[in-house]
Amino acid sequence: MTERPAESPVTALRGPALSFSGDPFSDGLERTMVHEPDAIVAMQDGRITHFGPAGTVQRLLPQGTEIRDYGKDALISAGFVDTHVHFPQTPMIAAYGEQLLDWLEKYTFPNELKFADKEHARRVARIFLRENLRNGITTSCVYCTVHPQSVDALFEEAEALGLRLAAGKVLMDRNAPDGLRDTAQSGYDQSQALIAKWHGRGRLLYAITPRFAGTSSPEQLAAAGALWRVHDDCLMQTHIAESRAEVAWIKELFPDRRSYLDVYDHHGLCGRRALFGHGIWLQDDELQRLYVTGAAIAHCPTSNFFLGSGAFDVFRATARERPIRVGLGTDIGAGTSFSILATLGEAYKASQLNGRSLSACHAYYLATRGSARAMYLDDRIGSLAPGMEADLVVLDMRSTPLIDFRMNLAADFADQLFVQMTLADDRAVQATYVAGRMAYSRTAPGLV
C-alpha cells in the first residue's frame, strides 16, 4: 500500500486586509470591496484555505498553526499583477529625450540586440524578477525579445521562484534592425516550440507576442493569428494606439483596414485573452469591438506620460454600456517605476486629465483582481478567497516619516489607501508571498 504524501503545514498572516469579490466599476464598491480591519489569511500547499475576520478564522485553524501578525498598520492583499512590461528594457529605464517611435530606434532596438546572449538575458531576468518581488508584483505579462533564448532565460528564472508568469518571444519581421528581425515562418516555428516547452508548465503561461503592427508584416500577423487559433488557451499581447504618430503610421502601412484595431482583428488577433497595451487613442467603434470580443487593455500611465503619448481614459474604457476589461501595466522601461503604488498615482493623474477622479479603492482593484481579470486569471489570482493561489503582498501603511504623519490625519480607509498610491513606493512593501512561500521580506531582502 502506497503512503499518501504528508500535507504541508498551514501558515497564516494576520492584519488588516483588502480584497474584491467583483468589479467595482460596474457593480459599485459597496457590493465588491472586502475590507477586514483585522483579518487572517491562511495558506496550505500554495493555496488560500481561509480568509476572514481574525476572531472567526482563528478558531477554524489546526492547533499550533503559525500566525505571523503584521499589526494594525499593515495591509494584506492579493499580490499585484502587471499586465504589460518589457523585461529586456530594465537596463534602459530612464532613457532621456524621445517620444515613442524615435525612442524605439534610439534606445530599445540597440538594447534588445544584446539579448542574443542568453547569459545576459538571464542576468537581466534575475534583476527584473527581484524588482517585481520587491514591489509586491507576483504575476506579470512580459515581452521578451525576438530571441527564443530570452524567453527561456526568463521562464527558467521564474520557474525557480515558483511564479505565475506569462511571457512570449517578440515577433518582428520588418522596420527593425538586422539581428532583431525574424520571418513570418521562423517566428511561427519558434513560438510554437516555446509554447510546447513552457505553456502550462507549472505556473507558467505563454503569450503570443507580435510587438505591434508597425514591426510585423501582414504575413506575420496572419501567422500569429493562425498560431493563436491552434493554441487559443495562450494569451496574445501587443501594442495599440499608444501615440497619435503611431496611429497615423499604422494607417499608412495598412491603408485597406478600417482602423488600428481592425489590423489585428482582420488577422485573427482580437478575442478572449488578448491584451492590448495602451489604447489611448482608440475610437468608439474600436472600444465596442474590444468589448464584444472580450479583449482587454493594459493601462500604462507612467510610460504614457514619460513618452508624452497621452492620458488613457479608464472611465471611458469601463463605461457600463460596454465595460472593457482593463488591467494595469508598469511598461518598464518607458515606464518609470516597478512600483505599482507609484503607477496607481499616475493612473489617478491620467483620470484627472480626463476630467474624472479615480478612487483609491477602484485603483487598487485595477492592480489586483482587475489585472487578473484582464489576463483571464481571476479564477486563480487577484483576490483573497479560499481556493485561490496564495500570492500575497503585505504593505506597511506608515513606510516613511511623511506617510506616517499624513496617515495620522487620514479621514477613513479610502483616504489612507489614497495616501499610499500618492506617496508610497517600494519601501511600503513589507513582504511578498508566492504560492504561500515568503519570497521577499523587507527585513531579509536576500530571500529573493
| Within a domain: 6 | no
Residue ending a domain, choose from 374, 395, 422: 374
One domain, residues 402 and 296: no
> How confident is the chain (448 residues) per 10-residue block, as mean pLDDT?
67 98 97 98 98 97 95 98 98 92 92 98 98 98 98 98 98 97 98 98 98 98 98 98 97 98 98 98 98 98 96 98 98 97 98 98 98 98 98 98 98 98 98 98 82
| Cell digits of residue 300 | 500604462
What are the CA-CA distances from residue 262 to residues 29, 270, 278, 436 (Å)? 34, 9, 16, 42
- Give me the pLDDT at residue 113, please: 97
One domain, residues 413 and 287: no
Nearest to 314 by CA among 335, 300, 294: 300
One domain, residues 88 and 30: no
- Give me the pLDDT at residue 447, please: 73
CA 211, CA 172: separation in Å to the nearest integer?
A: 7
Residues 6+ apart with CB under 8 A from 286: 241, 259, 260, 261, 262
- Give me the pLDDT at residue 374, please: 98
One domain, residues 400 and 424: yes
One domain, residues 35 and 142: no
Question: Which residues span the domain enclosing 351?
Answer: 80-374
| Within a domain: 3 | no
What are the CA-CA distances from residue 156 to residues 119, 159, 165, 352 (Å)? 12, 5, 11, 41
Residues 6+ apart with CB under 8 A from 30: none
CA 132, CA 384: separation in Å to the nearest integer?
A: 20
One domain, residues 410 and 320: no
- Give me the pLDDT at residue 3, please: 55
What are the CA-CA distances from residue 302 to residues 56, 91, 114, 424 (Å)? 41, 17, 25, 15
Nearest to 182 by CA among 236, 229, 234, 220: 220
Look at residue 401 and give its three-state secondary structure. Answer: helix
**Domain with 427 in it: what CATH number?**
2.30.40.10
**Domain with 208 in it: what CATH number?**
3.20.20.140
Residue ending a domain, choose from 374, 401, 425: 374
- 200 burial level (CB within 10 Å; 0-12, 13-18, 19+): exposed
One domain, residues 214 and 358: yes
| Within a domain: 397 | yes
Ordered DSSP codes for 300-351: -HHHHHHTT-----HHHHT-TTS--EEEE---TTTS--S-HHHHHHHHHHHH
| Within a domain: 200 | yes
| Cell digits of residue 180 | 532583431
One domain, residues 337 and 391: no
- 156 burial level (CB within 10 Å; 0-12, 13-18, 19+): middle
CA 405, CA 381: separation in Å to the nearest integer?
A: 33
CA 178, CA 338: separation in Å to the nearest integer?
A: 30
- Give me the pLDDT at residue 234, please: 98
pTM above 0.75, yes or no: yes
One domain, residues 17 and 120: no
Work out how many domains the chain is built from and give that number. Answer: 2
One domain, residues 279 and 387: no
Q: Is 206:177 a contact under the CB 8 Å cutoff?
A: no
One domain, residues 111 and 258: yes
What are the CA-CA distances from residue 192 to residues 166, 184, 189, 199, 260 (Å)? 15, 12, 5, 10, 26
Residue ending a domain, choose from 315, 345, 374: 374
| Within a domain: 338 | yes
One domain, residues 426 and 314: no
On the CB side of 312, CA atoms within 13 Å amount to 29
Q: Hey, which residues does 55 pair with through a beta bridge?
A: none
Strand (E) or helix (H) holding 404: helix 401-407
Strand (E) or helix (H) holding 193: helix 184-198
CA 331, CA 329: separation in Å to the nearest integer?
A: 5
